[in-house]
Amino acid sequence: MPRVLSLPEIITILQSGDFTTLIGSLEGDHLECKGAPYQLEQEREKMELAKDVSALANAYGGIILIGVQTEKEPTYHGDIIRRLGCFVQGRVDFSQYQNVISDWVLPSIRGLKLNWHASATNHNEGIASILIPQDACRERPFLVAKVIENTGRVIGSYVGFFERTRDNVPPMKPAELRERFKDGLRFAELDSRLRNIEEMVGKVGAERAPQQPALSDETVLRRVQRARRELGFEDKPTFSLAAWPLQPVDFPDLFESREAAVVRLLENPPRLRNSGFDLSITRPSTIIEAQLRRCLIPNHKLLEVWRDGPLICVLPGDDWHLCWGMRSTADTGLKINNLALTETVYLFCDWALKVCENAVPVSTRLKFRIMFSDMTMNGKPFSLNPYRPNEINLDDDRRPAPKAQPGIHIDFDSDGASVGPGAIAYRLLADLYAWFGFQAAEMPYVDRENQPPKIAPAQLG
């Protein structure tokens, strides 16, 4: 089973020279792997080096390994180390690397370490590493900035901001970069005084709001569309989930503090495993218009709780999440990874039930809905098959979606016999599989020995 190595474990392996123990491990928040040295005679490779280093410095620090090759792993939301590409030490000029980082990254990253590690089996070859210490993150934000000159004249400039999220670095659009500059970047949110003011204003505003009637499907759908816009996914393949009470409720502690149970669940939703297809965002939540709290990574993932009940999650519908590792192309269309689909739906149902325990009154009936939007590639519909993904069955019995793309939804009565996230997820997914033309008996990851049938989290590992 793939594992996620801690930074001390990685350093111990490098010191031993037994790099084969890296094989089978997953990239993560603190580990970036490059199959070969950066080609620093090219400007784009200089930018790539600056981007990779600054992205780790803007997160929690970490290490870049050079000479370690990875592949996408469809059963884990991350790249897995498959091979080593050891090389002779002379292929890496550390002084050139240091100069590029110094020239392109602002401010300087304190404590940055570049090292060569000889292989225990062949001392003439090895791998290189760039260590970004966690202490360096105190100086963030780090920008990638470069003045472009030609024959001594300035002809332009480049400024970018990158921050590592799990095993990738989502791009930041110029408009968002401008907003972060204008607002002092997101790190100002961590100032306790500003946080207290934000929560106080949100609480006062919410206390003045009159009790609303039960929400209509149309109201929730409009909020989902708003969430897509906030994420930057209006015209992109999108996988959305929503749950809301079928009676008026209130989350009275939503703006109280980050220690409130409902806020802790928003900022730390349940997970089943490392590098799984979960809802975690690893960002502090923000109060929006005294109506909701939201966790957001632009162009990557959104999770929010509304004071009057709706719970919304918006995720990439393409290879960044729902179709991870499935080798979708313009010829095949988007191919759903059914493990990503099932694990995400199960965890959303589990999270929604836990969050709704904090509502007043505790709602006895909830509606759940899963939605797909703009899920076409080159005019081809997205597709699904019922097999746990591996190297040889990605296309077996794969069926395209009908042309129409409605949301799949059910009403769920939590006083009924089918209590629990597994039963709710099963009912949602059974409807979805039927939409593709499959019988419920063909669905994977299901416990059918006990009634009612349910998605079994033990089968998702």
More confident residue, 411 or 47: 47
Answer yes or no: is pLDDT of 119 > 70.
Answer: yes
Task: Encode pLDDT of 287-327 as tens digits.
Answer: 999 999 999 988 889 999 999 999 999 999 999 999 999 99
Would you say residue 189 has pLDDT above 80?
Answer: no
CA–CA separation, 217 and 233 (whole Å): 21
pLDDT of residue 183: 54
> Considering only CA atoms, which of 215, 58, 85 is closest in space to residue 144?
58
Fold for domain 7-169? Answer: 3.30.950
**What is the layout of strands, in order, in the sheet containing 105-106?**
105-106, 143-150, 153-161
Alpha helices for 232-297 (secondary structure H): 261-267
Whole-number average pLDDT of the chain: 86
pLDDT, residue 168, reads 64
What value does the CA radius of gyration of the chain take, rounded to a whole number of Å?
24
Report pLDDT for 417: 45
Return the ∠ at Cα 152 (arms to 151 and 153), rounded to 5°. 95
Return the amino acid letter for 415: D
Q: Please give the average per-residue pLDDT across 9-18, as a whole number.
A: 95
Pairwise CA distance, residues 194 & 180, whole Å = 16
Q: Give the per-residue pLDDT at 2.
A: 74
pLDDT of residue 371: 93
pTM: predicted TM-score of the whole model, two decimal places: 0.80
Residues pairing with 233 in the sheet:
none
> Alpha helices, DSSP H only, in 88-187?
94-104, 174-182
Please give the pLDDT value at position 1: 67
Cα angle for residues 141, 49, 15 (degrees, 5° grid)? 100
For the four alpha carbons of 329, 334, 340 and 342, in that order, the dihedral sign comes to negative
CB atoms within 10 A of CB 19: 22
- Mean pLDDT along residues 257-278: 94
Query: Please, what sign has the CA dihedral across residues 132, 183, 44, 328?
Result: positive
Position 130 confidence tier, pLDDT thresholds 50, 70, 90: very high
> Which residues have C-beta within 8 Å of that of residue 375, sequence separation ≥ 6?
237, 238, 317, 334, 381, 382, 401, 405
Whether 187 shows a pLDDT value over 80: the answer reads no
For residue 54, the one-letter residue type is S
Q: Which residues pair with 302 in a beta bridge?
A: 296, 314
Contact 126, 86 (CB under 8 A): yes
pLDDT bin (cut points 50, 70, 90) of residue 125 is very high
Helix (H, G, I), strand (E, B) or coil at 86: coil
Assign 177 a pLDDT band (cuts: 50, 70, 90). low
Measured CA distances, 349 to 88, 200, 208, 212, 414 (Å): 51, 30, 31, 24, 12
CA–CA dist 115, 14 (Å, integer): 10
Report the percent of the chain where pLDDT is more than 70.
84
Q: What is the pLDDT of residues 371-392, one digit of tens each?
A: 999 998 888 889 999 999 987 8
On the question of pLDDT at 439 being above 90, the answer is yes
H/E run at residue 64: strand 62-66
Predicted confidence at residue 349, as pLDDT, reads: 95
Question: So what's the pLDDT on residue 34?
Answer: 96
Under the banding of pLDDT at 50, 70 and 90, the label for residue 171 is low
Quick: pLDDT tens for 38-67. Answer: 999 998 899 999 999 999 998 889 999 999
For residues 313 and 240, the answer to whether their CB atoms sit within 8 Å is yes
Inter-residue contact 267 to 259 (CB < 8 Å): no
Rounded Cα–Cα distance for residues 36 and 91 (Å): 10
Please say if the pLDDT value at position 174 is more than 70. Answer: no
Residue 229: its H or E element: helix 217-231
Q: What is the pLDDT of residue 414?
A: 63
DSSP 326: S
Quote the CA–CA distance of 143 and 55 in Å, as a whole number. Answer: 9
- More confidently predicted of 146 and 436: 436
Query: Parallel, antiparallel, or unpaired: how do β-strands 113-118 and 78-84 relate?
Result: unpaired
* Residues paired with 441 in a beta bridge: none
- Which distant-in-sequence residues (6+ apart) come within 8 Å of 303 by Cβ? 266, 269, 279, 281, 294, 295, 296, 312, 313
Quote the pLDDT of residue 267. 96
pLDDT range class, residue 211, cuts 50, 70, 90? low
For the chain, domain boundaries: 7-169, 188-460
- Encoding tokens for residue 37? 């040295």
* CA-based torsion, 51, 53, 54, 57: positive or negative: positive
Among 14-23, 61-70, 197-206, 290-299, name the one with the lowest average pLDDT: 197-206
